[in-house]
């Protein structure tokens, strides 16, 4: 049987009761699901399930080499195998020597990745997309993450926005007519997770640019607005932002005071906006203001603001605890004239633009803490194998194993929730309580996972030589931004009460 373009290998290990030894098994299928090859073997001696599975994957890699295949998906639930094959940490011991020999079979390196998936969340196309974004992020963003945090700014030697634009990451949900990919929110979440895994700060700015700005223009802009603004935003030539909160109107967003007075040909804006991600660098912003100050929700209108408009300025960039480098500032409007054609949607209907966007904002941003949790495990798993106390790697101690288990299950349950809700949104079933629930869950678990990561590293987790402190500071933002955890709980409770 000829092999198709995509080969999938399922690998596992289990105890063989007759001989009381561990055995490995792997099954190879083509893209149509037809079985191409199947092998199993008993591994005699003192072999644990991890070593048995490594032996099986070594056999898989040898088979791949014989078939001259490169595009292969290998599915395994053994996280140590995943880390080792990718060469994400120095390899030691008998277990390590097996991995080194296995990796040498096909020359696997850190950035030349055969794909390993620990769950069945994605189809083959989505898996390929995830791996390509992961490789891009690890090669182009991760090397700058620590410097971005310390300098509180994106690197000047490389234009990350242009790189992301060239890689077609900035218009995932935008139509192809404007340079986008025309894909759905599941793909958007995949990109958000992998970019956040490389750098929480870049991930947050990416989410603000692509979802809060570009996606709002896609959903609510007219043809001329889309043609004018989307191409440069999608290419990375321009940076986008959204401004909703104010110094005295955060959770109570409809209590905003920024006023838009109707005049001939447009509106005059006066007031301030706060906590605007990408504000200092954005050329295009979606801004909410009151066209009827006496009303609450019914008096809000959405506007498209351009950098350089007379009367519009930015105040000092905020010095934040985390998400440093994801620039945040206050916006100031002093008799700023905005032409009528820059109304996004309809006058007085801004609350509909706002609320429909908030559900999708919460979903996409929820993939950020998922990426941060994965980044924590990327640090902890190699560390607990290398770090020895009392003559043994600390990863052999049950207390450490328990912490890692909690971290792993928090990650996987949050990840499953994110992509389940993303599929619903792609199918037109966006549910406010689940969009709030998914970021509530992922955000709070990410903070706890980051704390556990610091604890696993002990004193090393408390020094800035390791990235665990940065991950904790970045994770905390997601319990506050896009609606606090308290507001999210209120939304969920309110929706359930309405349904009862």
pLDDT at 100: 45
**pLDDT at 155 (0 to 100):** 96
329, 391: one domain: no
The number of distinct structural domains making up the chain is: 4
Q: pLDDT tens digits, residue range 95-143?
A: 444 444 444 443 333 333 333 443 467 888 898 899 999 999 999 999 9
Listed residue (40, 38, 36, 70) closest to 53, CA to CA: 40
d(CA 153, CA 71): 37
109 and 133 share a domain?
A: no
Neighbours of 335 (CB within 10 A): 11
* DSSP E strand boundaries for 59-180: 72-75, 115-117
CB 268 within 8 A of CB 280: no
- Quote the CA–CA distance of 312 and 338 in Å, as a whole number: 10
Q: What's the pLDDT score for residue 124?
A: 80
Q: How far is 297 from 137, CA to CA, in rounded Å?
A: 40
Domain containing residue 204: CATH number: 1.10.540.10
Which pLDDT score, from 0 to 100, does residue 69 have?
63
- Asked whether residue 128 is domain-assigned, the answer is yes
User: Has residue 437 got a pLDDT over 70?
Assistant: yes
Which has the closest alpha carbon to 325: 145, 477, 144, 154? 154
Domain boundary among 93, 117, 141: 117
Q: How many CB atoms lie within 10 A of CB 265?
A: 10
Q: Which residue is associated with the tokens 């929706």? A: 495
Distance, first Cα to last Cα, the chain: 56
What mean pLDDT do residues 409-427 have? 95
> Residue 20: which pLDDT band, with cuts at 50, 70 and 90?
low
Compute φ and ψ for 497, nearest 5 degrees: -65, -40
Q: How far apart are CA 372 and CA 140, in angstroms?
A: 17
Strands (E), 192-311: 240-243, 259-263, 266-277, 284-290, 300-306
User: Are 366 and 492 in the same domain?
Assistant: yes
Beta-carbon count within 10 A of 24 CB: 25
Which CATH number belongs to the domain containing residue 472 in this structure?
Answer: 1.20.140.10
Tell which wins on pLDDT, 73 or 375: 375
Residue 161 labeled ligand binder: no
Same structural domain for residues 171 and 255? no
Question: Residue 342: which CATH number?
Answer: 2.40.110.10
Say what the pLDDT of residue 15 is.
Answer: 58
The verdict on residue 131 lying in a domain is yes
Given 186, 214, 238, which residue is the final one in a domain?
238
Query: Is 90 contained in some domain?
Result: yes
Query: Per-residue pLDDT averaged across 164-177, rounded?
Result: 97
**Among 9, 12, 4, CA closest to 27:** 9
**What's the pLDDT at 110?**
33
For residues 216 and 357, is the Cβ–Cβ distance under 8 A? yes
- Average pLDDT over every residue of 352-371: 93
Kindly state whether residues 407 and 429 are assigned to the same domain. Answer: yes
Report the pLDDT value the prediction gives residue 129, as an integer from 0 to 100: 92
**Are 18 and 100 in the same domain?**
yes
Which phi and psi (to 5°) does residue 122 adopt? -130, 155
- Kindly report the number of other CB atoms within 10 A of residue 2's CB atom: 5
Higher pLDDT, 307 or 121: 307
**Token couple for 321:** 């605890």
Query: Are 433 and 478 contacting, i.e. CB atoms less than 8 angstroms apart?
Result: no
392 is in an annotated binding site: no
Whether 458 has a binding-site annotation, put simply, is: yes
What tokens appear for 251 in the block?
A: 């959770």
Using CA atoms of 295, 296, 302, 306 in order, give the dihedral in degrees to the nearest 10.
90
Strands 266-277 and 259-263: antiparallel
Residue-level pLDDT at 95: 41
The answer to whether residues 176 and 278 belong to one domain is no
Q: How far apart are CA 139 and CA 199, in angstroms?
A: 12
166 and 93 both lie in a single domain: no
Question: What CATH number does residue 91 fall under?
Answer: 3.30.420.10
Average pLDDT, the chain: 86
Res 466 pLDDT > 50 = yes
- CA–CA–CA angle 245, 247, 249 (5° rounding): 50
Please give the positions annotated as active site: 361
Would you say 470 is a known binding-site residue? no
Question: Could you tell me if 366 and 344 lie in one domain?
Answer: no
Residue 94: band (very low, low, confident or very high) from pLDDT cuts 50, 70, 90: very low
In this structure, what token pair is assigned to residue 388? 């020895």
pLDDT band for 253, please (50, 70, 90 cuts).
Answer: confident
- Domain membership of residue 2 (yes or no) is no
Bridge partners (DSSP) listed for residue 45: none
> Which has more confidence, 265 or 117?
265
Average pLDDT over residues 175-180: 96
362 labeled binding residue: yes
pLDDT band at 313 (very low <50, low <70, confident <90, very high): very high
> 40, exposed or middle or buried, with CB in 10 Å at 0-12, 13-18, 19+?
middle
Query: Per the annotation, does 416 bind a ligand?
Result: no
Which residue would you say has higher pLDDT here, 8 or 490?
490
- Its domain, for residue 492, covers 359-499
Q: Is 244 within 8 Å of 254 (Cβ atoms)?
A: no
Quickly count: other Cβ atoms within 10 Å of residue 44's Cβ: 10
What is the distance of C-alpha 104 from the center of its chain?
31
pLDDT band at residue 78, thresholds of 50, 70 and 90?
low
110 is in an annotated binding site: no
> Is 500 annotated to bind ligand?
no
297 is in an annotated binding site: yes
Residues whose CB falls within 8 Å of the CB of residue 424, separated by 6 or more in sequence, listed in order? 430, 431, 434
Specify which residues 300 forms β-bridges with. Answer: 290
Q: What is the pLDDT of residue 81?
A: 55
Q: Does 40 count as an annotated binding residue?
A: no
CA–CA distance, 69 with 268 (Å, rounded to integer): 63
279 annotated to a ligand binding site: no
Under 8 Å between Cβ of 28 and 7:
yes
Percent share of the chain, pLDDT over 70 = 82
106 and 133 housed in the same domain: no
CB 114 within 8 A of CB 72: yes
Per-residue pLDDT, 47: 55
Strongest mean pLDDT among 125-134, 240-249, 337-346: 337-346
Domain boundary among 182, 203, 238: 238
pLDDT of residue 99: 44
The pLDDT > 90 percentage for the chain reads 67
Whether 382 has a binding-site annotation, put simply, is no
Q: What's the CA gap between 273 and 277, in Å, rounded?
A: 11
* Angle (nearest 5°) at CA 203 between 279 and 438: 105
Looking at the structure, tell me whether residues 255 and 139 fall in a common domain.
Answer: no
Residue 148, classed as helix, strand or coil, is helix
For residue 1, being part of any structural domain is answered with no
Are residues 211 and 360 in contact, defined by beta-carbon separation less than 8 angstroms? yes
Who wins on pLDDT, 115 or 266?
266
- Per-residue model confidence as pLDDT tens digits over 23-64: 777 777 776 667 777 777 777 665 566 667 667 777 777 777
For residue 398, say whether it is annotated as part of any ligand binding site: yes
Q: Per the structure block, which two tokens stand in for 113? A: 């990745």
Question: Residue 336 annotated as binding?
Answer: no
Q: For residue 408, what pLDDT band results from cuts at 50, 70 and 90?
A: very high
pLDDT given at position 458:
97
Residues 490 and 460 both lie in one domain: yes
- Report whether 482 belongs to an annotated binding site: yes
Q: Residue 78 has what DSSP assignment? A: -
Contact by Cβ (8 Å): 327, 316 = no
| Location of structure tokens 């090393």 | 460
Would residue 389 count as lying in a domain? Answer: yes
């Amino acid at each position: 049987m000829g092999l198709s373009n995509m080969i999938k290998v399922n690998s596992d290990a289990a105890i063989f009761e007759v001989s009381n030894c561990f055995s490995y098994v792997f099954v190879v299928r083509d893209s149509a699901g037809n079985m191409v090859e199947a092998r199993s073997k008993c591994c005699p001696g003192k072999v644990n399930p991890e070593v048995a599975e490594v032996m099986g994957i070594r056999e898989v890699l040898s088979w791949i080499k014989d078939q001259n295949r490169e595009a292969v998906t290998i599915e395994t639930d053994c996280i140590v195998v995943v880390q080792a094959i990718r060469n994400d940490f120095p390899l030691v011991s008998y277990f390590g020597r097996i991995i080194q020999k296995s990796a040498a079979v096909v020359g696997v390196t850190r950035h030349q990745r055969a794909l390993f998936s620990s769950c069945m969340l994605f189809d083959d196309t989505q898996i390929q997309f995830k791996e390509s974004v992961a490789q891009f992020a690890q090669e182009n963003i991760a090397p700058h993450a620590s410097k971005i945090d310390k300098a509180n700014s994106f690197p000047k030697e490389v234009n990350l926005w242009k790189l992301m634009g060239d890689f077609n990451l900035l218009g995932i949900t935008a139509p192809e007519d404007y340079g986008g990919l025309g894909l759905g929110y599941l793909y958007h979440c995949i990109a958000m997770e992998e970019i956040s895994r490389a750098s929480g700060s870049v991930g947050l700015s990416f989410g603000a640019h692509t979802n809060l700005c570009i996606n709002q223009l896609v959903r609510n802009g007219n043809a001329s607005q889309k043609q004018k603004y989307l191409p440069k935003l999608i290419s990375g030539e321009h940076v986008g932002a959204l401004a909703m909160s104010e110094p005295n109107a955060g959770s109570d967003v409809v209590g905003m005071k920024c006023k838009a007075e109707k005049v001939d040909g447009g509106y005059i804006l006066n007031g301030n906006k706060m906590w605007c991600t990408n504000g200092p660098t954005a050329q295009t912003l979606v801004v909410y203001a009151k066209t009827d100050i006496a009303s609450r929700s019914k008096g809000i209108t959405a506007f498209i603001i351009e950098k350089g408009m007379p009367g519009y300025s930015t105040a000092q960039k905020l010095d934040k605890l985390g998400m440093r480098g994801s620039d945040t500032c206050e916006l100031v409007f002093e008799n700023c004239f905005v032409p009528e054609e820059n109304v996004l949607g309809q006058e007085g209907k801004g609350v509909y633009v706002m609320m429909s966007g908030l559900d999708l904002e919460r979903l996409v941003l929820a993939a950020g803490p998922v990426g941060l949790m994965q980044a924590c495990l990327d640090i902890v798993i190699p560390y607990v194998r290398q770090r020895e106390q009392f003559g043994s790697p600390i990863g052999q101690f049950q207390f450490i194993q328990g912490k890692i288990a909690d971290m792993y299950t928090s990650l996987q349950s949050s990840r499953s929730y994110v992509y389940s809700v993303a599929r619903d949104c792609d199918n037109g079933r966006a549910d406010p309580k689940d969009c709030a629930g998914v970021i509530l869950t992922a955000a709070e678990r990410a903070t706890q996972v980051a704390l556990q990561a610091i604890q696993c590293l002990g004193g090393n987790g408390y020094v800035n030589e390791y990235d665990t402190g940065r991950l904790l500071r970045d994770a905390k933002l997601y319990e506050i931004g896009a609606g606090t955890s308290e507001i999210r709980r209120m939304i969920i409770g309110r929706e359930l009460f309405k349904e009862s």
